[in-house]
Copies of this chain bind each other. A is one copy, B any other.
């Protein structure tokens, strides 16, 4: 029985939910899952019980869910497809990075393995998508690089933007128009707790100040 788009979305949401878990935690709370999928909590409970019956998740009532090995394999496959497709839409089709998410969201469930193989080849087996998010490998492994956010990286030191962890189109356009896309080199000049902001020196030594919330979504390498 091949998984429906709905099942694939649940698995993907649990997969990324697990990655955002505070350490110590091993289960994704039902409320968080329902929130991520934009569905009513009761719906999530019903569906997760079905996923449990299929052996795709471990479900502890009132505590949360976690993927089994089988569930993880499927989830990684979907996330791989999503991220490859996003990169493909930007690189080959020429779409902007802020307009590819919805297409990828749909295509990930329907295109053939053949299609995915071909674009993976065309793109040269890429490791990250346009937002810098790592692309799971064909065998389901997710390459992990240790990155710092603009809130934690060293001051007055050139760093390279590696990843932007927010898919919101308006945010992405802001990042792009300020030359803060992955690959660009910047420097943190100061952080201010009180004003909740970070001052940056960017492209062409241009200065700008962004909020801490936004700064936390920009991941960099030294």
- CB-contact partner of A93 in B89, B94, B95, B115, under 8 A: B115
A99 beta carbon closer than 8 Å to chain B: yes
Residue of B nearest to A96 (CB): B114
From A28-36, A43-51, A101-109, A145-153, the one touching the partner chain is A101-109
Binary per-residue interface labels of chain A (97-135) against chain B in the complex, 1 for a CB within 8 Å, 0 otherwise: 001001100110011101100110010000000000000
Contacts of A92 in B (CB 8 A): 92
Question: Contact residue range for chain A?
Answer: 10 to 19
A95, A114, A122: most-surrounded residue (chain B CB, <10 A): A114
| Complex: A104 Cα to B121 Cα, angstroms | 20
Query: Could you tell me the distance in whole angstroms from the C-beta of A160 to the nearest C-beta in chain B?
Result: 30
Q: Are A118 and B106 in contact (CB under 8 A)?
A: no
Q: Are A114 and B94 in contact (CB under 8 A)?
A: no
Residue of B nearest to A115 (CB): B103
Residue of B nearest to A102 (CB): B112
Q: Are B110 and A106 in contact (CB under 8 A)?
A: yes
| Complex: A95 Cα to B115 Cα, angstroms | 8
The 4 A-B pairs with the shortest beta carbon distances in the complex, nearest first, are A106-B110, A93-B118, A103-B112, A103-B115
